[in-house]
Amino acid sequence: MVVIDPTGVRFTDFKGAPLAKKVEHLSWSPLMMEKRGFKHFMLKEIFEQPEVVRDTLQGRISLDTGGVALDEIGIPEATLRQVRKAVIIACGTSYHAGLVGKVFLESMARIPVDVEYASEFRYRDFILEKETLVIVVSQSGETADTLAALRASKDRCAAVLAVTNSRSSSIARDAHGVLYTHAGPEIGVAATKTFTAQMTALALIALHLAQVQDRMDAAARIAFIEEFQRIPHKMEKILGRAKAVEDLASRFLPFSHFLYLGRWVNFPVALEGALKLKEISYIHAEAYPGGEMKHGPIALIDEKMPTLAIVPEDRVYDKMLSNISEIKARNGTIIALASEDDAKIHERVDAVLAVPSADPLLMPFLTVMPLQLFAYYIAAKRGADVDQPRNLAKSVTVE
């Protein structure tokens, strides 16, 4: 029981006996809870993302040594050195961040990673080996399925590390270690800045494991950190072009179905872009890895179903171009999310959302932003309740 009155806050048990509670101060200010001139919290939170990436990186990386200081997580380095596999468990948008995290961990730390929906994992006869690091990702820290999966794995793996935005949450309390994202309060129900903060945290974990397990030398780590530190500025450039995304949203307002395609590290971004559109505008959107298109979804393509194709100049660029040709051959309309340096893409597609170039591994930080803005502007123009979409809750504390 808790009683809050002008004299203070008192906790008791159900018989009225006082309970002592530890006080924890949040660094969030009341100003952070205001819209500050933005029409919706979601738009404000999309615009806060460069700062969120800076804040989540701050104090944790060293450009001199290429080192990541993660003593705060509370899991001994000796344990992390012995990790041979990781399992990332999450729901919804956090699951999509986990899929990006898998690519980070496999590329940098060279350890195999499974990414699991918490609601599926907890009811399976799952197998965890002692050298497995379980990483649970949850912005709220209270998602019932993720918490249950954490509790079920706790004694069956090397350690459970939580990535969360919520201090003293159930997930933060129950995990062996916590890496906090510094996204500040997210009021819009649709997760945006917590997603980029989660990807930042997962990249830090990957870099840290790569360091303690000697999988990347200092020069490679320094080069990655340098590239990472340029990301917030590139995000700001994308935000400076928000009007172009808004104009595109007006053009595509009449459509009721969208297909999102991406490959490799941008496939999870396609999933996330489609989820954002579905949840706030109630428009049907599907996301597939480009390579899966010919195994079924291509049957959907006609002039009534536009495709958002994520096509940065990376190792799967040519493969994405083939997907684009296949769609064009079936009278499909294509919006490409492409590098601003890619002059050739314009003649192949109907519209381009240009993003700055970056290390291919870090492109999700950039490619996700026009997709968040696209979903936002479509929903706002349809008059939807962007910050409080129907049937959804910010913390899913029940199954």
Q: Which residues bind ligand F6R (CB under 6 A)?
A: 91-94, 138-140, 143, 146, 190-191, 275, 279, 396
Q: Which helix (H) or strand (E) holds 338?
A: strand 334-339
- Name the residue with the smallest CB distance to ligand F6R: 92
Q: Minimum Å distance from CB 116 to ligand F6R?
A: 13
Give me 86's structure tokens.
Answer: 């990781």
Structure tokens at 392: 């959804």
What's the CA gap between 365 and 198, in Å, rounded?
Answer: 11
Determine the Cα–Cα distance for residues 182 and 218; give it in Å rounded to an integer.
26
Residue 99 C-beta: closest distance to ligand F6R, Å: 13
User: Quick count: other Cβ atoms within 10 Å of Cβ 312?
Assistant: 27
Nearest-5° angle of CA 370, CA 52, CA 70? 130
Considering the complex, state which of residue 327 and residue 368 has its C-beta at the smaller distance from ligand F6R: 368
Nearest residue (CB) to ligand F6R, 111 versus 147 = 147
Judged by beta carbon, residue 91 or residue 274, the one nearer ligand F6R is 91
Query: Least CB distance from residue 92 to ligand F6R, whole Å?
Result: 2
Tokens of 268: 């999870």
Residue 137 CB, nearest distance to ligand F6R (Å)? 7
Residue 275 vs 337, nearer CB to ligand F6R:
275
Of the two residues 139 and 200, which places its CB atom closer to ligand F6R in the complex?
139
DSSP E strands, 91-248:
113-117, 132-138, 159-164, 177-180
The two most distant CA atoms of the chain are separated, in Å, by: 73
**Residue with Cβ nearer ligand F6R (108 or 134):** 134
Q: Provide, rounded to whole angstroms, the least separation between the CB of residue 311 and ligand F6R.
A: 24
CB of 183 to ligand F6R, least distance (A): 11
What is the rounded distance in angstroms from the CA atom of residue 337 to the CA atom of residue 333?
Answer: 13
